[in-house]
Amino acid sequence: MRLNSNIKIQNSKLQKLVPRLLDWFAANARDLPWRRTRDPYAIWVSEIMLQQTQVKTVIPFWERWMRELPSIEAAANAPSAKIHKLWEGLGYYTRVRNLQKTAQQIVKSGKRKAESGNAVYQFPGNFDDVLALPGIGRYTAGAIVSIAFNQPAPILDGNVIRVLTRLFGIAENPKEKTTNARLWQLAEELVCGAHNSRWGERPHELKQNGGRAQAPARENVRPTNEKTCSHLNQSLMELGALVCTPRNAQCLICPVKKLCMAFKENRVDELPNLGKRETATARHFIAFAVERDGKFLVQQRPAGVVNAHLWEFPNLEVTGTKPEGEAVFHKLFDVKPKVIQPLRTVKHSITRYRITLEAFYVSLGGTGSTRPHAKTKSRIRGAGPSGRISNTGRWIAPEEFDSLAFSSAHKKLASAAAKSILSGR
Ligand code: SF4
């Protein structure tokens, strides 16, 4: 896929949009930590974290990741347990495994550049090379090369789709092939328009403000023609995130309202037309915080399933009439519990599933032994929704919970289990 920076904006509306979006972004962009750098590795990490996740959630995760793994090489060489722990709570864990696979591929390809006397691995700067990396699609490749290298690569994510369908009054479903291609084309014309504009070279603030001095934009969003592609793409995302929101769009303060079809025709709430939403499917799991001698049994999820490699309490998916916790317990274990009582119920959603995780605290009493496998492995007949036999069970004390990466729902159970010990159930 070739980037074509010579695309000319035919449409006068697009021509008017470019400076308005750039002006607005220069004055209104949020000061996000990854906007203070042009390091493609840092930008790549932020883009992967931001998939399906809100900005405010991502900030502490990104800062911690960059502190712990500040280079491609560090990410490539980090132990699997460490990358999962750093991602714990962000969800969609395939992202972090792909990220590491990609870092390893870059390191293996051995592209280095000298920087302050040290050799560092270089992130590819070419759109096609970035797109060829594992886990990086057209959107992410466009975001990385436009933001880090100011290349005129378009981006199209949910925010940009919303802004463009409303601006151009596109009523067809954006997932439909020709409509999607049209949206990519509009995004491309806009970023190429920014690339070819002389926006950063003109006395921008003075023109904008009738010749009066204006407060300078912050350093990280300072108007300059070295950043026009980066800023144009980010302006579309930012407008979608802050102003052209899914509900209650702030059209009255929108910098492009005069050019917006949906606003003009009072169709803002109708667009984008995303078709019928898939109905959510309810799923019910029963989990057991099994305690013996002050330690709990946890197991690691196998590769190839949702939340692979994360830790969890033994659990089973149940269907039909609500079964009794004790009956389900006996499907998983051969032992007779001393105590079994409700611990906590956690409700959450993963993709189109609405999940109820109902947990029980189970005490086996003191046996004098807390060795993990020797005594427990043969007693666990099955564990987890995958239905696989658990061979990764471990008995751990509540103080050790923090050393393992749990899925968000099971982390809540871990905290409830720890409290149950403290309260001396
Ligand atoms: S005018 Fe309203 S609908 Fe149109 S782009 Fe602006 S916020 Fe979105």
pLDDT at 104: 94
CA-closest candidate to residue 357, choices 407, 328, 401, 315? 315
d(CA 381, CA 376): 10
CA of 270 to the centre of ligand 1 (A): 12
CA of 56 to the centre of ligand 1 (A): 23
Domains of the chain listed by start with CATH number: 12-270 (1.10.340.30), 281-422 (3.90.79.10)
The list of the chain residues with pLDDT below 70 reads 1-10, 111-120, 198-225, 366-392, 424-425
Tell me whether residue 176 is one of the annotated catalytic residues: no
CA of 276 to the centre of ligand 1 (A): 23
CA of 254 to the centre of ligand 1 (A): 6
pLDDT at 381: 36
Query: 381 to each of 1, 95, 196, 236, 333, how far by Cα in Å?
Result: 51, 31, 65, 53, 6
CA-closest candidate to residue 349, choices 409, 302, 413, 286? 409
- Closest ligand 1 atom to residue 249 Cα is 7
- Output the residue whose Cα is nearest ligand 1's atom 1: 257
Peptide bond preceding 272: is omega within 30 degrees of 0, i.e. cis?
yes
Interval 60-77: pLDDT, tens:
999 999 999 999 999 999
d(CA 188, CA 17): 13
- Token pair belonging to 345: 């119920």
pLDDT at 321: 76
pLDDT at 367: 54
Interval 177-224: pLDDT, tens:
999 999 999 999 999 999 988 665 544 443 444 433 343 444 444 445
Report the residue among 243, 245, 264, 269 best suited for mutation to probe ligand 1: largest number of ligand atoms under 8 A from its CB. Answer: 243
- Closest ligand 1 atom to residue 268 Cα is 3
pLDDT at 9: 55
- Residue 154 in contact with residue 142, Cβ under 8 Å? yes
Phi-psi region of 102 (alpha: psi -120 to 50; beta: other; left: phi over 0): alpha
Q: Is the CB of 271 under 6 A from ligand 1?
A: no
Q: Is the CB of 72 under 6 A from ligand 1?
A: no
- Residue 158 in contact with residue 128, Cβ under 8 Å? no
d(CA 231, CA 174): 24
